[in-house]
Amino acid sequence: MASASIPAYNSIPLENSSSQNASNESLKMEPLADVALLPGEERVIDKDIIYICPFNGALKGKVFITNFRLYFKSDGDHVVVLDVPLGAISRVEKMGGASSRGENSYGLDITCKDMRNLRFALKQEGHSRRDIFEILFRYAFPLSHGLPLFAYLSQEKFDENGWHVYKPMEEYRRQGLPTDKWRISFINEDYKLCDTYPTILVVPFKATEDDLQKVATFRSRCRIPVLSWINKENQAVIVRCSQPLVGMSGKRNKDDERYLEMIREANGTTKLTIFDARPNVNAVANKATGGGYEGDDAYQNAELVFLDIHNIHVMRESLKKLKDIVYPNVEEAHWLSSLESTHWLEHIKLVLSGAIQVADKVSSGNSVVVHCSDGWDRTAQLTSLAMLMLDSHYRTLRGFQVLLEKEWIGFGHKFASRIGHGDKNHADQDRSPIFLQFIDCVWQMTKQFPTAFEFNERLLMVILDHLYSCRFGTFLYNCENVRDNNLLRTKTVSLWSLVNSDTSSFINPFYTEESSRVLYPVASMRHLELWVTYYIRWNPRIRQQQQSPVEQRYRELLALRDQYLKKLQELQLSDSSPSTHLSNSSTPSAASPTQHITRLQTPF
Amino acid sequence: MFSVKPLKPTFKSYLPPVQTDLKKSPQLTIRKLEAKLLPGEIVVNEANFVRKCIGTESSQDDLWGKLICTNFKVSFITHNSLPQQNFKYVHRLLGEHDVPLACVEQVVTVNDAKGKQKVLGSNKKLKFNPTELILYCKDFRILRFRFDQAGPESAKKVCLAIAHYSQPADPQLLFGFEYAGSRYYNSSGERVNGVDPGGGHQTPMFDRPSDWDREIKRTGASEWRVCSINEGYLVSPSLPECFVVPASLADQDLKQYACSFTGQRIPLWCWSHPNGSALVRMSSISDPQQQRKLDQRISSAITKSHPQRSDVLKSDLDKQLPNIQEVQAALAKLRQVCVIEPFEESEEKWLSSLESSRWMDYVRAFLRHAVEIVYMLEGKHTSVILLEEEDRDLSCVVSCLVQLMLDPHCRSLLGFQGLVQREWVMAGHRFLDRCNHLRKNDKEESPLFLLFLDCVWQLLNQYPSAFEFTETYLTVLSDSVWIPVFSTFLFNCPKQRAEHSRDFARSKSIPLGQEQVLRFPPVWDWSQQFSPKDQTLFNNPLYVGKSATYVQNGAVKTFKRTKQKSYSSTLRGLPLALRNGQLSDLDTLPRRNSLVLRLPTAAEPQGLLLPQLLPSHLTLWRLYFLRWVPEARIPRGGPVTAFHKLSLLVDEIHTLQSHLRHYSTSNSSFTLTSTPSGLPPPAPSPAPSPLPPGPGLALSPPSNTPHRPQSLSRSPPDHHQQRQGRMYFRAPLSTPAGPGASIPTSSSCPAPDYLSSSFPFSPVGNLCRRGLLGTPLSKLLSGARIWLSTETLANETL
């Protein structure tokens, strides 16, 4: 019975349930019948239903809908379970009509944001789906029905308050700010300068508040160039902003030009590099609507580099194509060329190689300015990835949280618009998987540098699951201004509360701290891989392992090492206590050696 | 030869390299450069003042030295050292810049000034003086040498010599013969070059009945027997002298049947499942008259050997798997996209080019086929006959894969080597023809063995703790195919080996003594190629062996696979997932009518190993295919960094174990009290081991070597190795002076700088593509631009 005694290698089946973390966290839930509800979660309706599983066919069972989730459990011996946070639902449609023919043709069709679709069939008699459809529609899209998001109803309590993870002043101080060249400005305290920026900004020391106001007039949505990160060694900085309002006529703005000059001068960079994340043609096209890019004439001490990253619409279509080839079935006949035709990995490559260029410039002492159109999508991707490459602090579990809080949440990545939390308008053109793409890039980096990150793949999956779930306040709303107005940080729980209250399952055991190391991943198709454990996780043919076997084995070995260490210390202690050569007097336990050595052994 | 003709065109576009920042003219020391020669190796030709190209962008890192052609290798000797390379494993047969002639795929000479290039063959003439030599190697390397400063005549001669000697006309011209011969001469049984002529390895060679007997016993195949009718290769020229057949067939019958099979190949037993189902390989029946009768006889004999008298299933490999030419064409295309095409240009179409090479398809096809056979043996309790026209190619791959999936023994290092020895070497895979060492027939060339190793790598990649060896081992094994000194890969079959070695010995008047054969070292004698330290790169720190320790509820425990019982218990047919009671088996029901889908998927490193077959879950074997590509190298990254970390930890555990052992031996009262009841007291061996034998690593040699042939002389069991550790990377350690010594910790040790995704190989100077020189790399980089979709413009957000 060797196999049964290796708990570590059991492939713990990840049933068709929402996510592995849901079941883990269930420890904290109150058991109630079949469904363990979260504090604050309330049951709304139960119903007999048929789940049309794309893998197993029609399954009879019962569905429970709460204000947080859809939970399905099939009847019979072989239980299939679905556990879907309502926040993950992007679309609910009626399928078939009362007169539709054919078995199971009458029911509901649910499209999810997390790469799966669900189909349920009901009895055709008596409008059996009306109530469930309406309830689902209401609770899946609460904001469209004047209801609060679940995060505001949740009563969950955690040991740690995740809202304290990120304190802007602390983070800037960690970076060594302010300096004699960079100062901290409170000009945006009431969101008056820029309503999508955070309150605390770092700007060139020489720039007056008046300068900032003037520059704001020349930058799209007043998102002026501000410091994101400074290199302690060479004082080179990453500055982020939105596009300049050049327009068709090629307007210039002396204040903006002078402002960029101040950034350049701050560490004596000879040429300030401006990375425009967009493809050249897009930047030109933006002139038609008042935007544009920094021209050579106006910014003589700057070089402009286009990074050719496409816009949110291209990314959305790319992910849609990807879903088509992985769900429900993996395209087998022409897998690689199908994957290529989604361009998903190619986009990942462009984002990563853009970030590499940013990081390379900065680590060689050149300050850079990064922008796209508005500076909240591609710009966030580029600055945060570059910072991840440059600063090992962001590669720790807590540092990564700070990075997300700062570059994404703080600087106004429009999570609400991109994800569409609680909003029924599934076809909204503002939705786009920009953040998912960023997390994918991070995952690619962890694959290439298995020892460089303190967190593991599981953390990334949990982040993505709660990006949609609306259980935590972390990813809600578009910017800090709106968050403050909605009292988000007092009325909801942070995802980091969950994560930091029990970090053990998010820690990468291979992590080796290397504080000054700059990571340069290879942004080549030869190394980029589809993140199958995320994108293809609903396919039951892939028996998911809860944890990577290598990680698991490493943990076991660590435990074994610790046992032996303890053992040895005890032996040394007992050995040397009569004599004198004692070095480890701090041994905690005084158990007799014989007792322990037998524990080290197992009968053969 | 490439079937894709990668090199032909574009000569016009070739620009002479910019000869700017060359190192100052060759130094005097070059005259002192001498080739390091092996016994039997002679210098054929050489040229001085040769420049070996290192970088693709500029020539500033190039090395000056002497280019030598011997009867074994192309050697480049230099006093310069490579830039940014502070690590290389030392190969005992080859220097840092050497390539065995057998590894040279194509020899191309170029004259810049005249704008000419020529692919050189054996006995060809060269009408121009070459300014450059490019060697395309079978292991995917591309080496370039410049002759700007070399004497034109000597340059020409050395090129011609390389072309000529890399295509020997006769097998006996392969260096292995001279090597084995001189070792014999010089040694008369003594150690030469630190090599023990007896082998020094423990891999069963399956050239004697006792090896087969042990294998029968190990698998519990009671109704099968060793048959020696082919002694002296009298019945079949391609079969070994002894093999295993159903016990119910008499020698007389077998001799009679043999004539009706292609190559007189009597069906061979490969392996038996603990449930009694057997895996058999068989060539086609050439005599149509006999077909039915013979089929029936063989089938019924196999049925008789099954404890449940189960039916026999025939699997016709020729019909269901790619043939050897298709596999060869796939590798040629893969080579094209991996190393020949410029890196950046091939990025955009990388995935579809990979797909159109079909290599991954073929890997998948072989794995899938093996899984289907596993299903028959394991799930249906049916014996299976692998049927192939000649039974010497596809069967080797499939038979091995089936055994690797079903039998954990085959996943140990010795088990694996024994497996290859049985199913490839002894079963008569035509290594000589498939490697095409003699360039006799390009149609016979096929990288089937590499394809097999890739399949093994896929299994290893999906089940990283199930194998005792690493991907470095697989890569090095594959490279060894191109070093023509090992008996393993030199011949088409055992008979050929015997004949050639006898003839060669006669012609050279080498006294052969009793055995009547010239002994070639098998590749399994790794001390031929690597130091014991370098060999530790083969050890997988994750391996969960026959017994492994783990911690449960704070106590260290060992689980151990007792021979047959637990083996079959892991194979009860009930997938683990079901036993856990969580998941229904509904989702394993067939969606399409495929066998594969009905299989339980298990993830037990000790039991059944079924690969995930979705194309999304098979990946390119990057270490093998991309190790020479400079642009693909991840400095201080790649899986090896995790491997490094693991190795340190495992090494630390070993050290702790030996400390604990030290306690248990030095303190006798302690030893006595600590021995649990039921366990025999530790034997008074040099290293009594009351502790579990390690985290899955065979610390105690005997437990891991069930097949030691008694007669082979060998180095004493791994005491030496044990002392120096089984891990390549060692935990930092202050030598334990005794009790109270400081205790090592591996957790904070960063990976050394030389680690990269190519480790232990290095792309530096090993992949100099033509055509990049003179074309600024930056131009290529910026030239590779992206498709533009029309929606881009329309939708750009503001």
Residues of A in contact with B674 (CB under 8 A): 593-594, 597-598, 601
Q: Which of A286, A345, A581 sits opposite B796 (nearest CB)?
A: A286
Counting every residue written for chain A, the total comes to 604
| B19-33, B83-97, B191-205, B717-731: range with highest mean pLDDT | B83-97
- Exposed (0-12), middle (13-18) or buried (19+): which is B125, by Cβ within 10 Å? exposed
What per-residue confidence (pLDDT) applies to B751?
80
How large is the average pLDDT for residues A142-167?
96
Q: Do A314 and B791 touch (CB under 8 A)?
A: yes
Residues of A in contact with B673 (CB under 8 A): 594
Specify which residues A59 forms β-bridges with.
A51
Per the CB < 8 A criterion, the answer to whether B661 and B694 are in contact is no
d(CA A375, CA A382): 10
- Cα-Cα-Cα-Cα dihedral sign, residues A594, A597, A602, A603: negative
Question: What does each C-alpha distance from B11 to B14, B107, B113, B358 come to in angstroms?
Answer: 5, 16, 12, 29
What per-residue confidence (pLDDT) applies to A577?
59
Rg (CA), chain A: 27
The ipTM, to two decimals, is 0.89
Q: Assess whether A372 carries a catalytic annotation.
A: yes
What mean pLDDT, rounded, does chain B reach? 78
- Cα-Cα-Cα-Cα dihedral sign, residues B763, B769, B773, B778: negative
B677-714 CB burial, b ≥16 within 10 A, e <16:
eeeeebeeeebebbbbbbbbbbbbbeebbbbbbeeeee
The active-site residue out of A112, A372, A441, A479 is: A372
Residues of B in contact with A312 (CB under 8 A): 797
Q: Do A602 and B347 touch (CB under 8 A)?
A: no
For an interface test with A, give the residue of B544, B583, B733, B746 to mutate (most A CBs within 10 A): B583
The mean-pLDDT minimum among A145-154, A559-568, B325-334, B787-796 falls in B787-796
What mean pLDDT, rounded, does chain A reach? 88
Per the CB < 8 A criterion, the answer to whether B211 and B520 are in contact is no
Interchain CB contact of B551 with A (< 8 Å): yes
Residues of A in contact with B626 (CB under 8 A): 526
Interchain CB contact of B753 with A (< 8 Å): no
Shortest Cα distance from A473 to chain B (angstroms)?
27
What per-residue confidence (pLDDT) applies to B287?
84
> Three-class SS of residue A266?
helix
- Cα-Cα-Cα-Cα dihedral sign, residues B595, B600, B601, B604: negative
Shortest Cα distance from A117 to chain B (angstroms)?
17
Query: Which one has a higher pLDDT value, A33 or A422?
Result: A422
Question: What does each C-alpha distance from B666 to A570, B213, B739 come to in angstroms?
Answer: 16, 42, 11
d(CA A419, CA A469): 10
Per the CB < 8 A criterion, the answer to whether B284 and B265 are in contact is no
Query: What are phi and psi for residue A488, nearest 5 degrees?
Result: -55, -45
Per the CB < 8 A criterion, the answer to whether B520 and B487 are in contact is yes
How large is the average pLDDT for residues A335-363?
97
Q: Do B796 and A373 touch (CB under 8 A)?
A: yes
Q: Which of B570, B588, B786 sits opposite A3 (nearest CB)?
A: B570
Question: What does each C-alpha distance from B196 to B173, B199, B595 come to in angstroms?
Answer: 24, 6, 49
Question: What does each C-alpha distance from B689 to A364, B143, B329, B400, B675 come to in angstroms?
Answer: 55, 50, 53, 34, 11
Q: Which two tokens stand for residue B697?
A: 């690593």
Q: Do B577 and A11 touch (CB under 8 A)?
A: yes
Per the CB < 8 A criterion, the answer to whether B623 and B562 are in contact is no
pLDDT at B382 over 50: yes
DSSP calls for B396-427: HHHHHHHHHHH-GGGGSHHHHHHHHIIIIIIT
pLDDT at A24 over 50: no
- Split at pLDDT 50, 70, 90, the class of B85 is low
Q: Which residue has the tokens 């802007």?
A: A168
> Three-class SS of residue A185?
strand
- Exposed (0-12), middle (13-18) or buried (19+): which is B13, by Cβ within 10 Å? exposed
Q: Do A13 and B663 touch (CB under 8 A)?
A: no
Question: What does each C-alpha distance from B50 to A112, B94, B143, B168 come to in angstroms?
Answer: 64, 19, 13, 25
How large is the average pLDDT for residues B154-177?
93
For an interface test with B, give the residue of A6, A245, A309, A347 to mutate (most B CBs within 10 A): A6
- Which among B123, B122, B146, B126 is positioned nearest to B134, based on CA atoms? B146
Contacts of B506 (CB under 8 A, 6+ apart): none
| A18-27, B620-629, B736-745: range with highest mean pLDDT | B620-629
- Exposed (0-12), middle (13-18) or buried (19+): which is B449, by Cβ within 10 Å? buried
- Which among B417, B387, B393, B389 is positioned nearest to B404, based on CA atoms? B417
pLDDT in tens, B433-485: 999 999 888 999 999 999 999 999 999 999 999 999 999 999 999 999 999 99
d(CA B367, CA A46): 46
Q: Do B791 and A561 touch (CB under 8 A)?
A: no
> Quick one: closest CA in B to A523, which residue?
B632
> Quick one: closest CA in A to B545, which residue?
A2
Contacts of B684 (CB under 8 A, 6+ apart): none
pLDDT in tens, A74-117: 998 888 899 999 999 999 999 888 778 888 889 999 999 999 99
> Quick one: closest CA in B to A291, which residue?
B798
Query: Which one has a higher pLDDT value, B738 or B100?
Result: B100
- Write the single-letter amino acid at A193: L
Interchain CB contact of B348 with A (< 8 Å): yes
d(CA A175, CA A236): 12
Q: Which of B544, B676, B788 sits opposite A598 (nearest CB)?
A: B676
- Which among A516, A351, A409, A527 is positioned nearest to A165, based on CA atoms? A409
- Which among B609, B640, B570 is positioned nearest to B459, based on CA atoms? B609
Q: Which of A10, A554, A601 sits opposite B676 (nearest CB)?
A: A601
How large is the average pLDDT for residues B518-538?
92
Parallel, antiparallel or unpaired: strands B63-70 and B224-227 = unpaired
Q: How many CB pairs under 8 A join A and B?
A: 346
Contacts of A88 (CB under 8 A, 6+ apart): A18, A112, A113, A114, A465, A468, A469
Residues of B in contact with A345 (CB under 8 A): 351
Residues of A in contact with B692 (CB under 8 A): 600-602
Q: How many other β-carbons are positioned within 10 Å of the β-carbon of residue B333? A: 21
